[in-house]
């Protein structure tokens, strides 16, 4: 507390405050205290700056000095990507015979990360040039934006150089986008199911989760959260876990135990799932839906060894021997599959990683000529894929002098887009539904709007939602400056000799 300036200032006031009822008299009596405290603090500042090689002394100039200030930005022109470093370097040359005293510059911008950074020059003698610089790390999760940067100068005698203006443009990094699928495994070590791929009361099963990064950026830090708040009879082994690093286009799978007690009366239940990247904030949330076979009196399952050939293209392979279970893969015509169990109307076929799926018997034929080694691994079907948002303009953020922003693009989905809307600083300014779209057009929804901009930063977010209630968001910042001003041409780093 002894080093806290505000605390010490308050202490001086309390110790020296006279007993007056009038506030005016009190302030008048404390004026010497204020002045002494100010002088002491100025001495501390001067001493501290002297250790940095900065002369913070004062003096008078007989003739108003003339100074030239230059701004250098690295990378050149102030264009950089999130996670990179921005170096701001300012040099001041005193072109007159008298000195400049207590000269300093400070940044002013609507980007709070770059705002109010001080550049201390102190005394600049006749013919001298002093330079001050600062390096700022741009956060990895920064949104794309362009902001005006002003360097405002102040000097002890009011002889500060003219302000310098430039701009800083930040491009966001590619972000990860998650998609996922799930499957129930109810046969194997530590499990108490019957292998039909359908949950029955009293079973302990493996819930297999598949997560794929369908975005363009790597997910380095992430988390998966699962919970069922509606049924105490359903127990999930782990409600929270980390995926680990997941580059674009790659996927990971993992298992966790799921128990359904005998006392469960519902014929279905759902588990809430959220997969989130903790760096970029991208996430996908949804529900894993499970049907429960209350009777357990399905068709009798028999062991078999048969090689099957698929009859038609785009034939679904189900998690269990029921079309109400999730589709886990699609097989094309001529695909060879190996069955290890069968009922009167279903075959259980082998899948990668020791998993299995079920296919209706009327969708395949027995192939006595093909061997089991001819079966190829089927691609995983992603059950939950969020929409994609594509803008017609690559850099809509690269402006700050417009009253409106013309924004257009298209939202695409693997199934159906429900609607698209646009927010400006959390205010909805546009909405478009896809309700009247034809069957052929339901997976796409184009949008276009003239977005009004407010003075200062405008966080613009385009949100698309599909028929699985999965959301996608694309955001950027457009900073509007109230009135045009002349921008002084500044040097870039490449111009510096």
Q: What would the pLDDT profile of 454-481 be if each residue is shown by its tens digit?
A: 999 999 999 999 999 999 999 999 999 8
* Average pLDDT, rounded, for the chain: 89
Is the pLDDT at 37 greater than 90? The verdict is no
Report, as an integer, the average pLDDT of 305-319: 94
Asked whether the predicted pLDDT for residue 492 surpasses 60, the reply is no
**8 Å CB contact between 173 and 140:** yes
Domain chopping of the chain, boundaries? 5-50, 67-174, 299-384, 388-480
- Strands 178-185, 204-213: pairing is antiparallel
The residue ranking higher by pLDDT, 408 or 482, is 408
Average pLDDT over residues 481-491: 52
**Confidence check: pLDDT of 354 > 80:** yes
Q: What is residue 388's predicted lDDT score, i.e. its pLDDT?
A: 96
Query: How confident is the model at residue 275, as a pLDDT?
Result: 96
Residue 173: what pLDDT?
97
pLDDT given for residue 11 in this prediction: 72
Kindly report, residue by residue over 160-186, the tens digit of the pLDDT. Answer: 999 999 999 999 999 999 999 999 999
Looking at the predicted structure, is the pLDDT value of residue 238 above 90?
A: no
The pLDDT value recorded for residue 172 is: 96
- How far is 62 from 65, CA to CA, in rounded Å? 9
| 494 band by pLDDT with thresholds 50, 70 and 90 | very low
How much is the average pLDDT of 182-199? 91
How does residue 22 score in pLDDT terms, banded at 50, 70 and 90?
low
Segment 430-444 shows an average pLDDT of 93
Q: What is the mean pLDDT of residues 322-340?
A: 94
| Cβ proximity of 198 and 357 under 8 Å | no
Average pLDDT over residues 327-352: 94
CATH of 388-480, one of 3.30.1540.10, 2.20.130.10, 2.60.40.10, 3.40.50.10470: 2.60.40.10
- Which pLDDT score is estimated for 79? 95
The most confident of the ranges 315-319, 374-378, 439-443, 482-486 is 315-319
Q: Which residues of 78-109 are buried (b: 16+ CB within 10 A; e: fewer)?
A: bbbbbebebebbbbbbbeeebbbbbbbbebbb
pLDDT value for 488: 43
Q: Is-cis flag, bond preceding 75, omega within 30?
A: yes
The end-to-end CA distance of the chain, in Å, is 48
Question: Can you give the pLDDT at residue 296?
Answer: 64
> Is pLDDT above 90 for 332?
yes
**Cα radius of gyration rounded to whole Å, the chain:** 34
Q: What is the pTM of this model?
A: 0.84
How many Å apart are CA 420 and CA 465, to the nearest integer? 7
Residue 259 has pLDDT above 60, yes or no: yes
**273: pLDDT strictly greater than 90:** yes
What whole-number percentage of the chain has pLDDT above 70? 93
- Same CATH fold assignment for domains 67-174 and 388-480: yes
Which pLDDT does position 232 carry in this prediction? 87
pLDDT at 372: 65
- pLDDT of 52 reads 84
Task: Give 2's pLDDT tier (boundaries 50, 70, 90).
Answer: low
CATH 3.40.50.800 applies to domain 67-174: no
What percent of the chain is predicted at pLDDT more than 90?
Answer: 67
pLDDT band with cut points at 50, 70 and 90 for residue 484: low
Q: What is the pLDDT of residues 80-102, one digit of tens each?
A: 999 999 999 999 999 988 999 99
Fold held by 299-384: SH3 type barrels. (2.30.30)
| 3-state SS, one letter per residue, for the chain | CCCCHHHHHHHHHHHHCCCCCCHHHHHHHHHHHHHHHHHHHHHHHHHHHHCCCCCCCCCCCCCCCCEEEEEEEECHHHEEECCCEEEEEEEEEECCCCCEEEEEEEEECCCCCCCCCEEEEEEECCCCEEEEEEEEECCCCCCCEEEEEEEEEECCCCCCCCCEEEEEEEECCCCCCEEEEEEEECCCCCCCCCCCCCEECCCEEEEEEEEEECCCCCECCEEEEEECCCCCCEEECCCEECCCCECCCCEEEEEEEEEECCCCCCCEEEEEEEEEECCCCCEEEEEEEEEEECCCCCCCCEEEEEEEEECCCCEEEECCCCCCCCEEEEECCCCEEEEEEECCCEEEEECHHHCEEEEEHHHEEECCCCCHHHCCCCCECCCECCCEEEECCCCCCCCCCCCEEEEEEEEECCCCEEEEEEEECCEEEEEEECCCCCCCCCCEEEEEEEEECCCEEEEEEEEEEECCCCEEEEEEEEEECCCCCCCCCCCCHHHCC
Higher pLDDT, 250 or 231: 250
Average pLDDT value for residue range 426-445: 94
For residue 264, CA distances in Å to 200, 231, 232, 291, 369 come to 10, 8, 9, 12, 47
Is the pLDDT score of 21 beyond 60?
no
Which pLDDT band holds residue 489 (cuts at 50, 70, 90)? very low
Mean pLDDT, residues 152-159: 94
In this predicted model, what pLDDT tens digit does every residue of 239-249 receive, in sequence order?
Answer: 899 999 999 99
């Amino acid at each position: 507390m002894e080093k806290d300036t505000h605390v010490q200032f308050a202490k001086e006031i309390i110790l020296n405050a006279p007993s007056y009822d009038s506030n005016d008299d009190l302030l008048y009596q404390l004026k010497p205290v204020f002045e002494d405290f100010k002088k002491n603090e100025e001495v501390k500042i001067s001493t501290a700056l002297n250790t940095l090689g900065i002369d913070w002394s004062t003096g008078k100039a007989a003739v108003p000095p003339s100074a030239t200030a230059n701004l250098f930005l690295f990378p050149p022109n102030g264009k950089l990507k999130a996670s990179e470093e921005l170096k701001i370097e300012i040099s001041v040359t005193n072109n007159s015979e008298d000195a400049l005293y207590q000269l300093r510059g400070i940044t002013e911008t609507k980007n709070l990360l770059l705002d109010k950074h001080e550049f201390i020059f102190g005394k600049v003698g006749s013919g001298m040039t002093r330079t001050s610089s600062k390096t700022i790390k741009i956060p990895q999760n920064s949104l794309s934006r362009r902001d005006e940067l002003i360097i405002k100068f102040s000097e002890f005698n009011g002889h500060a150089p003219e302000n310098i203006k430039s701009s800083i443009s930040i491009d966001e990094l590619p972000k990860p986008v998650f998609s996922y699928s799930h499957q129930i495994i109810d046969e194997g070590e530590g499990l108490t199911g019957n292998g039909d791929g359908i949950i029955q009361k009293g079973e302990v099963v493996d819930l297999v989760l598949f997560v794929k990064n369908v975005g363009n950026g790597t997910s380095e830090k992430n988390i998966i959260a699962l919970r069922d708040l509606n049924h105490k009879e359903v127990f999930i082994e782990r409600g929270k876990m980390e995926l680990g690093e997941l580059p674009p286009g790659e996927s990971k799978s993992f298992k966790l135990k799921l128990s359904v007690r005998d006392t469960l009366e519902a014929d279905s239940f759902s588990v809430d799932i959220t997969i989130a990247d903790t760096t970029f904030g991208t996430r996908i949330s949804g529900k894993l839906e499970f049907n429960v076979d209350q009777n357990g009196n399905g068709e009798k399952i028999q062991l078999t060894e048969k090689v099957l050939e698929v009859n038609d293209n785009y034939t679904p392979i189900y998690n269990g021997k029921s079309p109400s279970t999730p589709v886990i893969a699609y097989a094309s015509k001529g695909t060879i599959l190996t069955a290890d169990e069968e009922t009167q109307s279903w075959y259980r076929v082998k899948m990668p990683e020791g998993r299995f799926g079920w296919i209706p018997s009327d969708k395949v034929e027995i192939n006595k000529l093909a061997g089991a080694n001819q079966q190829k691994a089927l691609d995983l079907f992603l059950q939950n894929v969020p929409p994609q948002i594509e803008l017609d303009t690559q850099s809509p953020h690269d402006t700050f002098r417009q009253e409106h922003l013309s924004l257009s693009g298209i939202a695409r989905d693997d199934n159906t887009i429900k609607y698209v809307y646009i927010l400006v600083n959390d205010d909805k300014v546009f909405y478009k539904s896809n309700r009247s779209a034809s069957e052929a057009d339901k997976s796409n929804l184009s949008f276009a709007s003239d977005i009004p901009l407010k003075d200062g930063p405008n966080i613009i977010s385009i949100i698309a939602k599909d028929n699985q209630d999965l959301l996608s968001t694309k955001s950027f910042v457009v900073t509007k400056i109230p009135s045009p001003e002349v921008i002084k041409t500044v040097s870039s780093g490449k111009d510096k000799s």
